[in-house]
Structure 1
Amino acid sequence: MADTMRILSRDAFAEVLREAQQRTRELDPSRWPLLRQVDAQLDYMARTTADGRVPYPEERARTTLGPLAARELEQLDPEFADQLEELDYTFHRYPLLPKGPPRVRRGILQVWTGRDAFRKLILEHGVPRTVGTARADFIVHADAAGSPQFQIVWDGVSAHVRAHDPHQLILDGAPGWYGELANRGWVKAGATTFRFLVEDRTPPRSPVTPTPASSAALAALRPRCDAGTLYAVVDAARSDRALVLVEESVDAHASLYDGEQGRAFDDVAPYLVQFRSDSGLLERLVHAGWGDAWGVFLQSDADFEAVRRHLRQFLVVKGEGEPRRLFFRFYDPRVMRTTVEVFTPEQRAELLKGLDGIYFEDADGRLRELR
């Protein structure tokens, strides 16, 4: 199979399948029994994936084009053999292929437990990376006496994981030395659990249409994103979709809640996000959530942990005349546009310490700025 895969979606699968069928007909299956086998299996793939149908597991297990091509055609016609091998590989994993045209999506290995939780390793197509407590590309819970624990390779369809001896892994609940991970699969190595995600893999329930207000806000925020100084605090309590977009992104993010008690509220927590200029997350968040109070945006030259420490100070505040401390949802633009009217100069300065500005949607949908 070729190093770089063409079949990254169901549309691409159908296109490559048509090309392979045409190539098989040109070679004339009537002259060679091997080609008759190839033609029959290609026809079977076409029938079982026609009209948007997803083949059942037992149907996907019936094709043998991959080993057949590798054994019989690799020397005679390597390009055709690669094509057949890729078709067989992706047919066996057909549910993992997203709908629509092919897109190059990166893989994301995210630390899910322990003090390094939320850290991400970004995986490019076909580039193997090692993970472990020492001497690895991605070191988690560093230990001078540690070692690499496993290797992971993302091929655009599936993530392939292989343990480094003497470590054994648990993949999606099953112990083993190697295996594959699909979007939102997980692997445990030692005491650390990781989860695997695919960039922007989960489609919205309905198409997202940009509005004039969201387009104007994006145009104002984009230069700050490109400069590497744009953050957001995204409120997972406002929308399940908001959290999905943040999780399935290559951008750094972490809950503003700390510790095991904080992890219990992962589904509704506020998340700090640091935007990357090579990510489409900003566009997806703004167009999908503008007007629905998904969060606020921040500009700062400070690093991620410094911004997170600063913002955590304001999660709970002491209200004037109140006997108990109160939760302060400063990351809700509806709360922000109300409280900025009553901030004292000292309170405003304290909130903006280390920040160049806070940006949020006003009641009329315009982007408002607090500096």
Structure 2
Amino acid sequence: MADTMRILSRDAFAEVLREAQQRARELDPSRWPLLRQVDAQLEFMARTTADGRVPYPEERARTTVGPLAARELESIDPEFADQLEELDYTFHRYPLLPKGPPLRRRGILQVWTGRDAFRKLILEHGEPRTVGTARADFVVHADAAGSPQFQIVWDGVCAHVRAHDPHQLTIDGAPGWYGELANRGWVKAGATTFRFLVEDRTPPRSPAAPTPASAAALEQLRRRRDAGDLYAVIDAARSDRALVLLDESVDPHASLYDGEPGRALDDVAPYLVQFRRDSGLLDRLVTEGWGDAWGIFLESSAEFEAVRRHLRQFLVVKGEGQSRRLFFRFYDPRVMRTTAEVLTAEQRAELLQDLGCILYEDEDGGLRELR
């Protein structure tokens, strides 16, 4: 199979399948029994994926055109053999292929438990990466006496994991030394659990179109992101979709809540995210969420953990003249509008320490700035 895969979506599968069927006909299946077998299997693939149909598991298990091509055609017609191997590989994993045109989405291995929770390893197509407690590309829960625990490779369709001796893995609940991970699959190595995600894999329930207000805000926010200093605090309690977008992004993000009690609130927590220039997350958040109070934006040249520590100070505050401490939803733009009007100079300075400014939606959908 070719080093770089073409079949990254169902549309691409259909296109490569048509090319392979045409090539098989050009070679004239009537003159060679092997080609007749290949042609029949390609026709079976076309029939079982026609009109958006997803083949049943028993149907996907029936094709053997990949091994046939590797054994019989590699030396005669390597390009055709690569096509057939890729078709067979992706047909067996057809439900993992997204609809629409092929996009080179990156893979994301996210630490899910322990003190390194939410850290991400970004996986490019075909690049093996090692993960472990020491001497690995991605060191998690560092231990001087540790070692690499497993290797992971993302091929654009699924991620392949293989344990490093003497470690054993748990892959989607099953113990083993190697296996595959689809979007939102998980693997446990030692005491650490990891989630695997695919960049921008889950589409919105209905297409999202920009409004004049969101387009204007996005234009301003993109300039700030491209300067490298743009963060946001996104409120998962406002929308399930917002958390999906954060999870399926290459941008660093983490809950502002700490510890096991905080993890119990993952579904409704506020999340700090630092935007990368090479990510489409900012566009998706603004296009889909502008006007629905998903969160606020921040400018800061400080490191991620420093910004997170600073913001955590304001999650709970004491009201003036009150003994009880109160939750402060400063990351809700509606709350920020009111707060900005009553802050004293001292309070403003305290809130904006290490921050260049806070940006949030106003009542008319514009982008307001607190400096």
TM norm structure 2: 1.00
Cα shift readout 1:216-235 (whole Å, capped 9, x = no counterpart): 00110111111110000000
CA distance in 1, matches of 2:220, 2:159: 37
CA distance in 2, matches of 1:340, 1:198: 38
The structural deviation recorded for 1:275 is 0.3
Cα shift readout 1:33-59 (whole Å, capped 9, x = no counterpart): 000000000000000000000001111
Matched residue, 1:368: 368
Cα shift readout 1:203-222 (whole Å, capped 9, x = no counterpart): 10000101111110011011
Matched residue, 1:263: 263
CA distance in 1, matches of 2:227, 2:3: 34
Cα shift readout 1:259-290 (whole Å, capped 9, x = no counterpart): 01100000000000000000000000000000
Matched letter for residue 202 of structure 2: T
Aligned length: 371
Matched position secondary structure for 2:238: coil
Matched position secondary structure for 1:341: helix
Matched residue, 2:248: 248
CA distance in 2, matches of 1:20, 1:252: 41
Matched position secondary structure for 1:347: helix
Matched residue, 1:319: 319
TM norm structure 1: 1.00
CA root-mean-square deviation: 0.4
Matched letter for residue 26 of structure 2: E
CA distance in 2, matches of 1:49, 1:66: 18
Matched letter for residue 292 of structure 2: D
Residue 158 (1) aligns with residue 155 (2): no
Map 1:121-160 to 2 at 5 A.
121-160=121-160
CA distance in 1, matches of 2:256, 2:354: 17
Matched residue, 1:106: 106
CA distance in 2, matches of 1:26, 1:321: 86
Cα shift readout 1:308-332 (whole Å, capped 9, x = no counterpart): 0000000000001222100000000
The structural deviation recorded for 1:339 is 1.1
Matched residue, 1:225: 225
Bigger mean CA deviation after superposition, 267-276 or 221-230: 221-230
Residue 212 (1) aligns with residue 212 (2): yes
CA distance in 2, matches of 1:325, 1:246: 30
CA distance in 2, matches of 1:227, 1:43: 52
Matched residue, 1:30: 30
- Show structure 1 runs of 4+ deviating over 6 A: none
Matched letter for residue 71 of structure 2: R
Matched residue, 1:88: 88
CA distance in 2, matches of 1:283, 1:323: 42
CA distance in 2, matches of 1:332, 1:56: 45
The structural deviation recorded for 1:336 is 0.3
Matched letter for residue 226 of structure 1: D
CA distance in 2, matches of 1:243, 1:190: 27
The structural deviation recorded for 1:77 is 0.4
Residue 67 (1) aligns with residue 67 (2): yes
Q: Which runs of 5+ in 1 are unaligned?
A: none
CA distance in 2, matches of 1:227, 1:122: 22
Cα shift readout 1:297-316 (whole Å, capped 9, x = no counterpart): 00000000000000000000
Matched residue, 2:340: 340
CA distance in 1, matches of 2:339, 2:351: 12
Matched position secondary structure for 1:340: helix
Sequence identity of aligned pairs in percent? 87
Residue 278 (1) aligns with residue 262 (2): no
The structural deviation recorded for 1:122 is 0.2
Cα shift readout 1:84-137 (whole Å, capped 9, x = no counterpart): 000000000000000000000000000000000000000000000000000000
Map 1:186-197 to 2 at 5 A.
186-197=186-197
Matched letter for residue 327 of structure 1: F
Matched letter for residue 190 of structure 1: G
Matched letter for residue 307 of structure 1: V
CA distance in 2, matches of 1:45, 1:88: 9
Matched position secondary structure for 2:341: coil
Matched residue, 1:296: 296
Bigger mean CA deviation after superposition, 314-323 or 44-53: 314-323
Cα shift readout 1:150-199 (whole Å, capped 9, x = no counterpart): 00000000000000000000000000000000000000000000000000
Matched residue, 1:56: 56
Matched letter for residue 225 of structure 1: R
CA distance in 2, matches of 1:154, 1:329: 38
CA distance in 2, matches of 1:311, 1:115: 19
Q: Which runs of 5+ in 2 are unaligned?
A: none
